[in-house]
Each structure stands twice: as C-alpha cells, then as structure tokens.
Homo-oligomer: A and B are copies of this chain.
Amino acid sequence: MDNVLSVIPLGGVEEIGMNMTVMEYGEDMIIVDAGLMFPEEDMLGVDFVIPDFTYVIENREKVRAIFLTHGHEDHVGALPFLLREIRVPIYGTPLTLGLVKEKLKEHNLEDIDLRSIRPRDIIREGEFIVEPIRVTHSIVDGVAYGIRTPVGLVVHTGDFKLDPTPVDGQLMDFHKFSEYGENGTLLLLSDSTNAERGGFTFSEKEVRRAFEDIFSEAKGRIIIATFASNIHRIQQVIDVAVMFSRKVILSGRSMVANAQIALDLGYLRIPENTWLKLDELKNLNDNEVVIVTTGSQGEPMSVLSRIATDEHKQIKIKENDVVILSAKVIPGNEHSIGRIINHLFRRGANVIYEKVSEIHVSGHASKEELKLMLNLVRPKYFMPVHGEYRHKFYHARLADKIGIPKEHIFNLENGDVLEISEHEARKAGTVTSGRVFVDGKGVGDVEGMVLRDRRRLAHDGIVIVIITIEKLSGSVVSGPEIISRGFIFEDASQDVLTDVKDLVYLTLSAMTPELIADKALVQAKVRSVLKKYLRNTMERKPMIMPLIFEV
C-alpha cells in the first residue's frame, strides 16, 4: 500500500492502563497519551508499569508531538520516562498540563515544551492536523482528538462517558462528533472499559445525593477517600460540606497538589475559609470536619491505611466517625480494601463503600453510550482500545451489531500495526512492545525510580526476606532470613546484614499483633524500611520481596 497510515497501540489494549497509541505517516509520527498501569498482584515488588516504547525511541527523529487526552495516570504517567529519551512538544488542556507540570517537576524535567490547547483548536504537526474535542469523564478538562491525516480522519475518544449533567457544566461536544460522522470518518478508536456493562453510566451528579444523605445523618467526622485526580468528586464534597457547614481538610501529598493546581486554574471552586490545613483539625468540632484523602484502593502505606491502623499521627478513628470509600474497586484490590474496611469497623467507624451505597459512579461509557458514539461518528474502520481482550471483544460486538462489517473491526494487541489507506485497512506485522516495570513511587523517592529491565535486575538484584511469625503473639519465630541474587550481600560488610535483620525486628516489634496478622501491611513496611536503608548505605535499589509465613 502507498500513502499508508500506521496506527500502533503500544499499551492499553491488553490491559486497563498504560494507554499509548502511535500514529505514523511517512516521516511523521504523533503519539496519543503515554500512561502507566498499577501492578497486578503477581508483579511482585513493582510500583508501576509503563509501556515499552522502544519503537518510539528508534524512530525519535520522526516524532512530532505528544497529545494528551486527560490528566489521569493511565494516560500521562509514563511521560517522565519517555521525556528522558525524547524531547517533543506536548499538547494538552490547561488542567492536564497543570497536573503533568507537577509530575515533571518531581522528575527534575525542565524546559519541556508544554502547549496549552482548548477544544476545537486546530494544531498542525507534520502531516497531521489535530483537533481536540470536549468529552466528559471522571476528571475535568478531558478531550478526544479528531486527527486529519492524508488518508482520512481518525477519531480517538480518549476516556469518556456521556454525562448529561457534568459537575462543571461542560457538556460533551456532540456536535463535533456528529460533524465528523457527517463528513466521513476513516477510523474510530474508542474506550472499551465498560463495554461489558448494559445501559448508561450514571451522571457524576448522582453521587451528590448519596453524599447529602450521609452528611445529613453524620454526627462525627466524615473521612472520604477517593482518587486525587477526581476533581469533580472533590468539588462535590466541597459543595456538600459547605451546605452542611463543615470545613474541608485535604490529606495526602497528591491530593493537596492536585487540588491546588485545579484551584489555581479555576477548575475547583472553594469558598473562602472552607479549605483548612490538617493542623487546624484540633480546633474544630467533629461535626465540622470533612477529611478528603487518598488510599481508596487499600494501599498499605496510604493515608487511609495509616488511619485505619492507628498509625496516623493526627487522625485517630473514633466512635461516630464516618469513612466513605468513594471510588471504584480496581479488580485485584478487593482483599486490600476489605482489610482496610475491617480495620476501620473494628475501631468503631461507620464505613460506607461501593457495595453498600451509591457513593461512586464510573467515568466510562456503558453499552448504550458506546453505541451512540459509534452511530454519531459512523467510522469506516473501528479499533476498540482501553481494555483487556474481553472488554474489546464486547465493544467489537457492539460495532458489529450497529452494522460495521466484521472485517473492518480490528481487535489489536500491544505492538500490532494497523496499516490503513483510503480504501483498505489490515493488520501488518508488529513492533517491539511489552511492559516495563518501575520501582519507587514514594514521596521524594523520584531519584529512586528505576526501570526494571534486564540490566537493572542483574545490577541491583533481588532481596528476598523470609520471616516466620507466630500469629497470636506477633513474635518472630524464625528469620529474617535474607536471600539475595544479583545484589550480593557477601560484598557488603557483616554490619549491613546485621543491620538489615535488626531493622526487620524493629519494624515488627513496633507493630501490634493485630497489625502483624495483616500480612500485606507487614510486607509493605519491611519493604519500605529496607529499601530506604539499602539506598542510603549501599546506593543500591534491589527489588525487595518479603515473604511472611504464619505459624
């Protein structure tokens, strides 16, 4: 084929997460999104995962720009790693860039060419003419992209839902999608996350009713855990807090940073004297307080987890506290979240979570919305993205149902190349793809971030800590035994080994039997302590895997 456009998903089509799509025509290449994924439980000792973008690096001279759809980690989280290798302009809406800027600052990446765009702007980069389109999603200021190429128009929805009553009043730009359909769209890439789910996804505003019910009944403090990026949700908490004369305290570094960015850019409206600092907690009555925090996925070192296990200095759970987990349960996190819920209940809090109340709605379109998108845009070819095989399968089936021929639907995997011309489209080979593991996401831990590729594993190695604990007493009955590969303790002085053992003992002896029974917590703590120690004393960053056995 001559004059052919290649569309190559490098991530996001075998998983929920690490979204990244490359479009290439002749000597020009653009990239839509560069996201990360949080690890699945079998990716031991890894903090997050990014796409292998070898193909982009190998074609560095072709890359014209990166276009971001919105500020979620699964769409922008791999940027710092990509920008270590290539420097190109990055386009995004103001909030998206605000969040990215903060992230780049942490990584000491300066002088990045960030270009702020508004919906319906027109950007030319090489042979591509790109137009952002307003969509509604669980983060504000999201866009889809209409991308004009020499072979035809490609529409990439990014993440979206059709929220008829968005919190910020910014409706989805139906008219533009409709215009694309009217004028002819060659290829649509669309969000498959909820393609298994019938009907319509509820509006974000529905959550407000649940909040109002809970606030009207609460006698004590209200603690709400959600994603730091969910500015809509934070806005609703603030609105309802004001309604019930409560002050809002934001806790957690990312929560505070995101809210400040959204506030500065005008995406968050907070009446004066409503957002207080954590230090002011002591001056407030319980029924005047709302605390908004992260940790909704049960992450063992998060603020919510520390609150749940009495390890937070300023916030101790007491009778009449209401804790709301206002976020979806990411599959695989059920046990960690269940753990936190049990800890909180045991300490007397009333815990409200997705299973027992309507305190969360999804940010992704369900079947009826996906069909509407397909019918509006009427693409000649269709590629479901943003999902595992089964999500994309269901999305493909919807496309089939509304009349797109089966041979025009491409359910690709990461690295597959879709070659497309005006008259033809076909899967044509693959490029290098895969998952790269990244370690070290803690606060101030940015220098510690390492890519877990082969060389690194060989260099920094792996440390396995085996501890056997007697559950009832919480005492260590055997171990810690330290096993290392790649990372050689034999090179180190005997002192280091003794220190490591002591550190593990100290960590465990500071924990109550109840907490020690929580193995996920023990693992997280041991890992965190050893990681810091080994970095400081030996300048090594091995993968650390504590294995805890109970007797």
Contacts and interface: CB of A to CB of B under 8 A. Distances in A.
A70 B173 CA distance: 58
A355 B196 contact: yes
B464 A457 contact: no
A520 B43 CA distance: 10
Interface string A353-369: 00110000000000000
A472 interface: yes
A466 B485 contact: yes
Contacts of A28: none
Contacts of A120: none
Interface string A39-78: 0111010000000000000000000000000000000000
A335 B394 contact: no
Given A454-B468, A457-B551, 16 more contacts: A42-B335, A42-B519, A42-B520, A42-B523, A44-B547, A196-B356, A332-B335, A338-B388, A342-B388, A351-B390, A356-B394, A434-B471, A435-B471, A457-B549, A462-B466, A483-B483
A196 B334 CA distance: 15
Contact of A435 (B335, B468, B550): B550
A39 to B, nearest CB: 11
Interface of A: 40-42, 44, 196-197, 331-332, 334-335, 338, 341-342, 345-346, 351, 355-356, 388-390, 393-394, 432, 434-435, 453-454, 457-458, 462, 464, 466, 468, 471-472, 477-478, 481, 483, 485, 519-520, 523, 545, 547-551
A315 to B, nearest CB: 20
21 contacts: A40-B335, A42-B335, A42-B519, A42-B520, A42-B523, A331-B335, A331-B338, A332-B335, A338-B388, A338-B390, A341-B389, A342-B389, A345-B389, A356-B394, A434-B472, A434-B550, A454-B478, A457-B549, A457-B551, A466-B485, A483-B485
A187 to B, nearest CB: 22
A335 B333 CA distance: 10
Contacts of A41: 41, 335
Contacts of A468: 454, 457
Nearest to A351: B390
A465 B40 CA distance: 20
A464 B545 CA distance: 12
Contacts of A197: 355
A167 to B, nearest CB: 27
The 8 closest A-B pairs by CB, nearest first: A331-B334, A342-B389, A454-B551, A345-B393, A341-B390, A196-B356, A196-B355, A42-B519
Nearest to A453: B551
A440 B390 CA distance: 32
A439 to B, nearest CB: 12
A527 to B, nearest CB: 13
A520 B472 CA distance: 31
A476 to B, nearest CB: 12
Nearest to A481: B485
Given A41-B41, A355-B197, A334 B332 contact: yes
A488 B539 CA distance: 32
A266 to B, nearest CB: 39
Contact of A454 (B477, B523, B548): B477
A334 B389 CA distance: 15
A319 to B, nearest CB: 12
Contacts of A334: 331-332, 334
Contacts of A483: 464, 483, 485
A345 B458 CA distance: 37
Contacts of A454: 468, 477-478, 551
Nearest to A483: B483
A352 to B, nearest CB: 11
Nearest to A339: B388
A343 to B, nearest CB: 8
Given A355-B197, A356-B394, A346 B389 contact: yes
Contacts of A331: 334-335, 338
A180 to B, nearest CB: 30
Contacts of A458: 478
Nearest to A394: B356
Contacts of A389: 341-342, 345-346
Nearest to A471: B434
Nearest to A341: B390
Nearest to A393: B345
A48 to B, nearest CB: 15
